Structure 1
Amino acid sequence: MDIIVKQRVLQALSLTDDFYTHINGDHLRLRISDVPSNTIGEQAYCIIGARESYLKAFIIGKWDGFECSLSDSTNKTLINSKLKETHTNIIRFLQDNSIGEINPNFLMDLLEHEVQHHGQLIRYAYANNIEFPKSWNIRYTV
């Protein structure tokens, strides 16, 4: 079971990374019109901050609040760099620790958070006529 949960977390992180690698920098400023909406770039801010905050919670064993090191939600290069960095940091942590050593609620919260953003990003893509990366077509049949 440990392996499956870890694989699903890493799959979700990879899919998010693929989406942001695939889109162009102008897409980061797009919103969903006619509904309350932040931008695609601001979605990345939340994703990166959650990855950083949950990793901190894994390490210290308790939730210590949300923090995000992303300083510019319109900079595609920076966003992709932060996504890669947080993904790598989580991979390393999961390789070095068994699920039994990690608060399972935090791990499931991270997975749920990442996948919830996938649903949001699907809506953003449809609303703004953005094509999906191949990995998303395979995983979500979009």
Structure 2
Amino acid sequence: MRNTIILNLRQRLASYNDVIKILDDSSLNARLAVAKNKSAAEHLWCLIGARESYARALLAGEWQGFNCSLKVFDHENFAAALKQSSEQLLTAIEQINDWQPEHDALLAAIAEHEVMHEGQLIRHLYGLGLDPPHSWRWA
């Protein structure tokens, strides 16, 4: 099961590199006229921070707290941070030699987090009149 989660997570991580290609600075910060709406930038910031935080947690074997290194919210920085945080998370996963139940729980949580934001961003993109990339299989 772990290998399936890792395979699916790799695909989800790669798909965010596709979505950033269809967003510009304006659409990154655009909001829909619905209650409790977050911009794509807010979703992506959370994803980047979660990837970085879960990478640290996986290496430590327990949650170490949330932190996001992204400080400048423009297209170029989001694209770089999505790529870097994806690589950081996958490297952490590859470095675990002795998988424990805590590692599996952390892996499941970050996979769930990625998919949850993907679903919200699909709705957001359609609301902006944009089509999600083909790699987003749930759209």
What does residue 90 of structure 1 align with?
Answer: 89
> Over aligned residues, Cα RMSD in angstroms?
1.6
Aligned length: 138
The C-alpha deviation readout for 1:10-54, integer Å capped at 9, x for no partner, is 111111221112222211111121322121111111000000110
Q: CA deviation at 1:66?
A: 0.8
Q: What is the TM-score when the length of structure 1 is the normalising length? A: 0.88
Q: Take 2:85 and 2:43, find their aligned partners in 1: how far apart are those partners?
A: 15
Q: Take 2:116 and 2:98, find their aligned partners in 1: how far apart are those partners?
A: 22
Q: What is the TM-score when the length of structure 2 is the normalising length? A: 0.90
Say yes or no: does 1:76 pair with 2:46: no
Q: Take 1:82 and 1:34, find their aligned partners in 2: how far apart are those partners?
A: 28
Q: Take 2:93 and 2:37, find their aligned partners in 1: how far apart are those partners?
A: 33
Structure 1 unaligned spans of 5+? none
Q: Take 2:123 and 2:98, find their aligned partners in 1: how far apart are those partners?
A: 32
Task: Check the 8 A contact 2:25/2:75 in 1, yes or no.
Answer: yes
Say yes or no: does 1:129 pair with 2:129: yes
Task: Check the 8 A contact 2:48/2:81 in 1, yes or no.
Answer: yes
What does residue 12 of structure 1 align with?
Answer: 12
Task: Check the 8 A contact 1:2/1:98 in 2, yes or no.
Answer: no
Secondary structure class of the residue paired with 1:89: helix
Task: Check the 8 A contact 2:50/2:66 in 1, yes or no.
Answer: yes
What does residue 22 of structure 1 align with?
Answer: 22
Q: How does 1:38-49 map to 2 (within 5 A)?
A: 38-49=38-49
Structure 2 unaligned spans of 5+? none
